Amino acid sequence: MPRRLFGSFVEHLGRCVYTGLYEPGHPTADADGFRRDVLDLVRELGVTTVRYPGGNFVSSYRWEDGVGPVDQRPARLDLAWHSLETNEFGLDEFMRWVGKADVDPIMAVNLGTRGTAEAVDLLEYANHRGGSHLADQRRDNGATDPYGIRLWCLGNEMDGPWQVGQRSATEYGRLASQTAKAMRRFDPDLELVACGSSHLGMPTFGAWERDVLTEAYDDVDLISLHAYYQPVDDDLASFLASAEDMDRYIDAVTAIADSVGAIRRSTKKIMIAFDEWNVWYQSAAPSNPPSGEDWPVAPPLLEDHYSVADAVVVGGLLISLLRHSDRVTAACQAQLVNVIAPIMTEPGGAAWRQTIFHPFARTARHARGAVLDVLRDGSTTSTDRFGEIAAVDAVSTWDDETGEMTVFLVNRVVTTPAEVTVDVTGARLAGIIECVTVGGADLHAKNTADGPDHAEPRPNGAARSADGGVQLTLPPASWTMLRLR
Ligand code: AHR
């Protein structure tokens, strides 16, 4: 299973960077101005890779503004989020932070207001060893070794009317193809992501993927998917089943990509980068950027406070990603700190875990080795949005090195517990290492900086070894992780 499934996303948006992961003067800040309390939580979260610097932000970003002596960097208007970008934090700071967080970078290039030339300039600055103008500039800026960034996103949500530099599918597909070809002249082994639709509900969904890949199929390796979920009309049952939508979305894009490949008689398969996903209350006020004469630095934007129910949904979305890990080879929860994030910070104060932190951290830590197909045989539940679906969703991983099997389950029924038998006949597993659950009660409870942690996984006392497997009770609306050896 690709470890890149447990990626995250850092955008210059709101307080994700400034007063999020970077806050010189904070009591825990290190010599680079990185908050150590946030770095500790990022490591605990188990994030493997981080996409940067956007998001919508990237589509009007000049990467050169963010390198070189900090006191000479220009302040610019960020057109995506109507904020002032000081450029105090840029590529070199990000790469230093990446080293300290022990994650791999995913870099996005601006194909909104810019094009192929600036993308290859950035590549040269980042990845060339030295002896050329831009690589030497990086060295002068303190980074002697090239960064070796492997995975690159060719723009962001280029189908969206909100995107600076929105393009038609064919226009964008040609630009992505041309940029990919140029980047591969520097390094043929880069992994390149073309933008898919901004979400499944886009009016051009499907045709967009088809037309972009018709132009760029031979030049790119992955296509992006983005999806954000929230309850609609207080319909908790459908919200808990959000993974159904994710399943269908992945299956649809896979089918479209394969059909373009089949028409081209290509043996190559395009993989999926689900490089933005999460729960996001898009209608909530903090999602609205400032306007008019107001161009604040790092205003609080998209600072959703998550409930226990949101944590159960995040656990379910991770099950969907794992189930599709034969095609989804990269994924990024959006975002990492403060902005629709598992980690929150107070400027000058504490860093703390949101409810959604826990299913992510447990899955990232324990989903190892091969993903196993789980045969689900049991009751169904009816939802307004998805019709009749399995009441319990599940996926399992098998780690050959440790001999551990981990099963992740979600009971999507709001009112009744589920009695489940995990049948592992033939797997010769001796017993339960751990069984923990999130949810089942206090579904609307949210964490705060100094309050109790409502989604701390608690032991599921009902789990017991039975003939050929394990029997357990999943509380209503809950996420559970069962580890066996
Ligand atoms: O993650 C927040 C925003 O959502 C990103 O900037 C954009 O790509 C998406 O629409």
CB-ligand 1 contact for 397 (6 Å cutoff):
no
pLDDT at 380: 95
**Residue 287 belongs to a domain with what CATH number?**
3.20.20.80
Q: Which of 124-138, 286-300, 334-348, 406-420 has the lowest mean pLDDT?
A: 286-300
Q: Where are the beta strands (DSSP E) in 256-412?
A: 271-279, 328-334, 343-345, 351-353, 370-372, 380-383, 387-390, 392-399, 404-411
Contact 290/268 with Cβ under 8 angstroms?
no
To the query of whether residue 244 is one of the catalytic residues in this protein, the response is no
Contact 152/109 with Cβ under 8 angstroms?
yes
pLDDT at 285 over 80: no
Residue nearest to atom 7 of ligand 1 (CA): 55
Nearest ligand 1 atom to the CA of 334 is: 1
pLDDT digits (tens, 9 = 90+) for 215-239: 999 999 999 999 999 999 999 999 9
H or E segment at 480? strand 478-484
Mutate to test the pocket of ligand 1, among 16, 157, 195 (most ligand atoms within 8 A of CB): 157
Distance 276 CA to ligand 1 centre (A): 7
Longest dimension (CA), the chain: 69
Same domain, 403 and 312: no
- Collapsing DSSP to helix, strand or coil, 95 comes out as helix
Nearest ligand 1 atom to the CA of 81 is: 6
- Collapsing DSSP to helix, strand or coil, 13 comes out as coil
Distance 102 CA to ligand 1 centre (A): 24
156 Cβ neighbours under 8 A, 6+ residues apart: 54, 55, 56, 58, 59, 108, 112, 163, 195
**Of 331, 348, 368, which residue sits at a domain end?**
368
Distance 401 CA to ligand 1 centre (A): 38
pLDDT digits (tens, 9 = 90+) for 400-420: 999 999 999 999 999 999 999
Same domain, 287 and 393: no
Cα 376 to Cα 357: distance, rounded to the nearest angstrom: 27
The count of structural domains within the chain is 2
Same domain, 323 and 429: no
Residue 416's Cβ-side half-sphere holds a number of Cα atoms within 13 Å equal to 9
Nearest ligand 1 atom to the CA of 13 is: 6
Cα 37 to Cα 449: distance, rounded to the nearest angstrom: 13
Report the chain's mean pLDDT, rounded to a whole number: 96
Q: Which of 216-230, 300-314, 417-431 has the lowest mean pLDDT?
A: 417-431
Nearest ligand 1 atom to the CA of 335 is: 1
pLDDT at 466: 85
CB-ligand 1 contact for 476 (6 Å cutoff):
no
**Of 312, 334, 368, which residue sits at a domain end?**
368
Contact 392/448 with Cβ under 8 angstroms?
no
Same domain, 357 and 379: no
pLDDT at 230: 97
Same domain, 222 and 148: yes
Same domain, 308 and 414: no
Residue nearest to atom 5 of ligand 1 (CA): 55
CB-ligand 1 contact for 156 (6 Å cutoff):
yes
pLDDT at 288 over 80: no
Same domain, 48 and 131: yes
Structural domain including 51 reads 3-368
131 Cβ neighbours under 8 A, 6+ residues apart: none
Residue nearest to atom 2 of ligand 1 (CA): 55
Q: Using the Cα atoms of residue 39, residue 45, residue 47 and residue 51 in order, give the sign of their dihedral.
A: negative
pLDDT at 286: 60
To the query of whether residue 64 is one of the catalytic residues in this protein, the response is no
Please report which confidence band the pLDDT of residue 74 belongs to, taking 50, 70 and 90 as the band edges: very high
Q: Which of 219-228, 275-284, 331-340, 388-397 has the lowest mean pLDDT?
A: 275-284
Same domain, 296 and 205: yes
Higher pLDDT, 446 or 463: 446
Q: Where are the beta strands (DSSP E) in 16-128?
A: 49-52, 76-78, 83-85, 104-109
**Residue 480 belongs to a domain with what CATH number?**
2.60.40.1180
- Percent of the chain having pLDDT more than 70? 99
Same domain, 112 and 162: yes
CB-ligand 1 contact for 78 (6 Å cutoff):
no
ipTM over 0.95: yes
CB-ligand 1 contact for 159 (6 Å cutoff):
no
Same domain, 188 and 176: yes
Residue nearest to atom 3 of ligand 1 (CA): 55
- Percent of the chain having pLDDT more than 90? 94
pLDDT at 129 over 70: yes
Distance 295 CA to ligand 1 centre (A): 19
pLDDT digits (tens, 9 = 90+) for 13-54: 999 999 999 999 999 999 999 999 999 999 999 999 999 999
Please report which confidence band the pLDDT of residue 374 belongs to, taking 50, 70 and 90 as the band edges: confident
Same domain, 244 and 360: yes
Q: Specify the amino acid at residue 104.
A: D
Same domain, 388 and 356: no
Tokens of 43: 């490591």
- The DSSP-derived string for 408-472 is EEEE--SS--EEEEEE-TTS----EEEEEEEESS-TT-B--SSS--TT--EE-TT-EEETTEEEE
Residue nearest to atom 4 of ligand 1 (CA): 55
Cα 426 to Cα 128: distance, rounded to the nearest angstrom: 52
CB-ligand 1 contact for 211 (6 Å cutoff):
no
**Of 329, 346, 368, which residue sits at a domain end?**
368
Nearest ligand 1 atom to the CA of 156 is: 8
Cα 245 to Cα 255: distance, rounded to the nearest angstrom: 15
Please report which confidence band the pLDDT of residue 468 belongs to, taking 50, 70 and 90 as the band edges: confident
CB-ligand 1 contact for 11 (6 Å cutoff):
yes
The rounded Cα 67 to chain-centroid distance in angstroms is: 26
Cα 461 to Cα 441: distance, rounded to the nearest angstrom: 15
Contact 153/147 with Cβ under 8 angstroms?
no
| Catalytic pick among 64, 85, 124, 157 | 157
Region of residue 334 (left: phi > 0; alpha: psi -120 to 50; beta: else): beta
